[in-house]
Amino acid sequence: MNLHSLRYFYDASFYPSLTEASHHLHISQPALTKHIKNLEEDYGVKLYEKNGRHITLTSIGNELIKECHILFQQADKIECFLNQKSTHYPLKVGLTQLNSEEFIKNILINDSFDSIKIELTTGNTKKIAQLLVNELIDVAILPESDSFAHFEKEKLFSDELIFLSHPDYCENHLSKSQLSDYQFIKREAGSFIQEILNNWKQPNVTFSNQVATHAEALLLCEYKNGLYLCSSIQAKSLIDSGKFQQVVIENSPKITRDFYLYFNKQQEIKYFKRYIKQISHEFQKTI
């Protein structure tokens, strides 16, 4: 039977609509529909039924999902087994020391992501670029950068910078004139975040004492020492926990960074493609 289509059917079932599922599964939505239609036509069963402009699983569809759960749990176990036995070299990944470093590390060095072995190297953009050229690392993960224009790239995620505060520190919407009432947490000189704030050039912005890491900045923010400009991805769980709120500031610069996975085009190793796909997939799952 067509286990390829069945896998898409199974994976899609976790999302409320095929459209949303298709985004997460990195496939166009017509292609996803096709997989499901394939199964339905091959076996003469109805897996989904129309429900307004949505579709919902039929009882047969639900039964099938249950069986698929057993099936693909075993398939994943097998993949894990093979990765454990793999003689492939670990993938050498380069990162820059930036705001999102810990975040990316957390995704790559993760219990649920044990499917490929990874070796991390950090450095500034120039160093990482050099390592990549000399093939001392296999890939680099960093925001879009001119230094990497001549490498192959695969987009991993978009990261927007947003302001965080303790929920009691200020309103969740501030006008320009209100800015003087609050402090902004100052990151280390030269850091991307700090550069953005410096370039903002708002006359009435005052800064807290300088901190060196994201963790320190968060601590200050939690104790109502100021507003903190932070990666939206890192902010997500913080906001969800209720300990922090997003603060929208009138006319503040909207900064979005697209993070890419860069690598040499001539990378001809067969399994390289699978590595790229799995990393990309892991990021999509997490974000």
Q: What is the contact surface with DNA in residues (CB under 7 A)? A: 2, 4-5, 8, 17-20, 26-31, 33-38, 48, 50, 52-55
Q: What count of residues does the chain have? A: 287
| Closer of 5 and 191 to its own copies (Cβ) | 5
| Closer of 50 and 66 to DNA (Cβ) | 50
Write out the two tokens for 108. 């790559």
Among 102, 129, 117, which residue's Cα sits nearest to residue 233?
102
d(CA 268, CA 216): 42
Measured in whole angstroms, how far is the alpha carbon of residue 176 from the centre of its chain?
Answer: 31
Write out the two tokens for 140. 């680099």
CB under 8 A: which stretch of 34-42, 93-101, 118-126, 239-247 binds its own copies?
Answer: 34-42
Ramachandran class of 242: left when φ > 0, alpha when ψ lies in -120 to 50, beta otherwise: left
Directed axis angle between helix 3-12 and helix 59-85, to 10°? 110
Rounded to a whole number of angstroms, the minimum distance from the CB of residue 270 to its own copies is 4
Rounded to a whole number of angstroms, the minimum distance from the CB of residue 186 to its own copies is 47
Place of tokens 């995620």: 157
Rounded to a whole number of angstroms, the minimum distance from the CB of residue 271 to DNA is 13
Rounded to a whole number of angstroms, the minimum distance from the CB of residue 284 to DNA is 13
- If one asks whether residue 281 binds its own copies (CB under 8 A), the answer comes out as no
Q: How many CB atoms lie within 10 A of CB 208?
A: 17
Rounded to a whole number of angstroms, the minimum distance from the CB of residue 184 to DNA is 34
Rounded to a whole number of angstroms, the minimum distance from the CB of residue 18 to DNA is 3
CA diameter of the chain: 69
Torsion angle of C-alpha atoms 200, 206, 208, 211, degrees rounded to 10: 20
User: Which option in DNA, its own copies, none does residue 34 bind, with CB closer than 5 to 8 A by kind?
Assistant: DNA
What are the b/e assignments for 96-108, b being 16+ CB within 10 Å?
Answer: bebbbbebbbebb
Q: State which of positions 72-91 bind its own copies (CB under 8 A).
A: 74-75, 77-79, 81-83, 85-88
Q: Which of 27, 55, 57, 71 binds its own copies (CB under 8 A)?
A: 71
| Closer of 37 and 88 to DNA (Cβ) | 37
Residues that bind its own copies (CB under 8 A): 1, 3-4, 6-7, 39, 41-46, 60, 63-64, 67-68, 70-71, 74-75, 77-79, 81-83, 85-88, 270-271, 274
